[in-house]
Structures are given as structure tokens and as C-alpha cells.
């Protein structure tokens, strides 16, 4: 008895199912929880209280959010298109455009948002090293910028594979860009949460500066 092999479309969907599940568990669900929390006033200590859309006003002044969110979503969309499209030319085009897009858009935006974030913190009331949430955001931006630079070499290889018409399409469909774009979006969501909620906690330097400020304001 001859066993019928599944069609290429069905086989492709089965291969992509684990990645789709990963996107759901690692991106969609955290994004839904983040959106729900963004509608509240919550500092990780007190009980959350409903705040409506007021918290989103803080994001307008966040250069990292304004610069990174559209670029990250666009790159993530390219990665999804490259993995799910059934048109070979579309698949190759999606992977071909990733490396130049990352080099000309993502890398400059990453370092520009890092620089503007540092300058904004130094010139603002929160400071750069006074509060733990600001320090964590700085570390996230620095780590993301370094990883992006290191990942550019992988993107060049992915692009070179896609540029070779003799390469099998299964080898062109690399999940690596989707994984890295998803991780970048998760880091961005963490940075957004920190920007909106501004959790309590002074660093030792911040506590010392606060004591000095209080001594200056207290009557002699």
C-alpha cells in the first residue's frame, strides 16, 4: 500500500507550527498582558488602579519607543513574510532586504535612541544613575545595540543564501531573523513598561544625592 506524502504547503505549515506557537507564547500573550497593565497605575508594590490612556502620554517623550517600535515591527513583518509566503520570489526578496534594512535603518536608530535616551536622562529630573529603572533601560539599550551589531554578520550570510538562485528554498527560510526580531520586541516591551510605571528604587548614588538634596532644603 502506497503511503501518500503530505503536500509541500501542508509540510511547510507543520514546520512553521512551532515558530507560530513560540510567537504566540513569547510575543502575543506578553503583549496582551502589557497592554492590560498599561491601562493602570502600578508600581509593582501597590494594588493596580485603572488609569485609562493617561500612561501612553509618557511614551510620546520616549525617543527609544518612537524610533524602535516601527522599525522592529517592520523587520518582524519581513521575517514572518519570508517564513510563511508560498511565493519563492517573495521569500527571497524578504530575506534579501533584511540586511540592508538593518544596516541602514535599525543600527542607526538603535544608537540614536541610545544617545538621545542618555542625553534626556542626564538633562531630566530622573538622572541617569539615580533610579534602578533608568539604569535597567540603559542596560537594555546597550545590550540590544551590541547584539544588533554582532547579528549583522549573520544577516549578511542569510542575505547571501537568499541571493543564490540555486539554493533550495527550505534553506532560505531561516527562522533566525524572526527569533531575533521577537526578542528585540520583547526587550522593547520591557523598556516601555519601565518608562510607563517607573518602579520605585534608588541606586546607592541616587540615595546619596537625595540625602544631600534634603539636607540642602532642610532649615538650619
Which pLDDT tens digit goes with each residue over 99-151?
898 888 888 888 888 888 888 788 777 788 888 888 998 898 898 889 989 99
Residue 2, pLDDT > 50, answer: no
Largest CA distance in the chain: 98
Residue 27 gets which letter from DSSP?
I
What phi and psi values does residue 41 have, to the nearest 5 degrees? Answer: -95, 115
Question: Cα angle vertex 191, ends 185, 197, to 5°?
Answer: 135
Give the CA distances from residue 92 to residues 7, 77, 81, 177, in Å, rounded to whole numbers and listed in that order: 21, 14, 10, 13
Please give the residue that has the higher pLDDT: either 172 or 220. 172
Taking the complete model, does pTM exceed 0.75, yes or no? no
Return the minimum-mean-pLDDT range out of 58-67, 144-153, 173-182, 202-211: 58-67
Q: How confident is the model at residue 184 (pLDDT cuts 50, 70, 90)?
A: confident
Please give the residue that has the higher pLDDT: either 5 or 96. 96
Average pLDDT, the chain: 79
Amino acid at each position: 500500500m502506497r503511503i501518500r506524502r503530505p503536500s509541500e504547503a501542508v509540510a511547510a505549515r507543520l514546520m512553521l507550527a512551532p515558530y507560530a506557537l513560540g510567537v504566540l507564547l513569547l510575543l502575543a500573550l506578553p503583549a496582551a498582558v502589557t497592554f492590560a497593565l498599561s491601562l493602570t497605575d502600578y508600581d509593582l508594590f501597590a494594588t493596580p488602579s485603572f488609569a485609562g490612556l493617561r500612561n501612553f502620554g509618557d511614551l510620546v517623550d520616549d525617543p527609544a519607543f518612537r524610533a524602535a517600535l516601527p522599525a522592529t515591527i517592520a523587520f518582524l513583518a519581513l521575517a514572518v513574510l519570508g517564513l510563511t509566503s508560498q511565493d519563492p520570489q517573495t521569500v527571497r526578496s524578504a530575506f534579501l532586504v533584511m540586511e540592508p534594512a538593518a544596516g541602514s535603518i535599525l543600527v542607526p536608530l538603535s544608537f540614536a535612541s541610545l544617545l538621545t535616551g542618555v542625553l534626556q536622562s542626564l538633562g531630566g529630573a530622573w538622572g541617569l544613575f539615580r533610579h534602578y529603572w533608568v539604569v535597567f533601560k540603559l542596560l537594555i539599550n546597550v545590550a540590544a545595540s551590541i547584539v544588533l551589531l554582532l547579528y549583522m554578520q549573520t544577516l549578511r550570510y542569510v542575505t547571501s543564501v537568499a541571493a543564490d538562485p540555486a539554493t533550495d528554498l527550505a534553506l532560505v527560510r531561516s527562522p533566525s531573523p524572526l527569533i531575533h526580531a521577537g526578542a528585540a520586541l520583547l526587550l522593547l516591551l520591557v523598556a516601555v513598561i519601565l518608562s510607563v510605571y517607573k518602579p520605585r528604587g534608588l541606586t546607592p548614588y541616587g540615595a546619596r544625592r537625595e540625602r544631600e538634596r534634603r539636607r540642602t532644603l532642610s532649615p538650619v
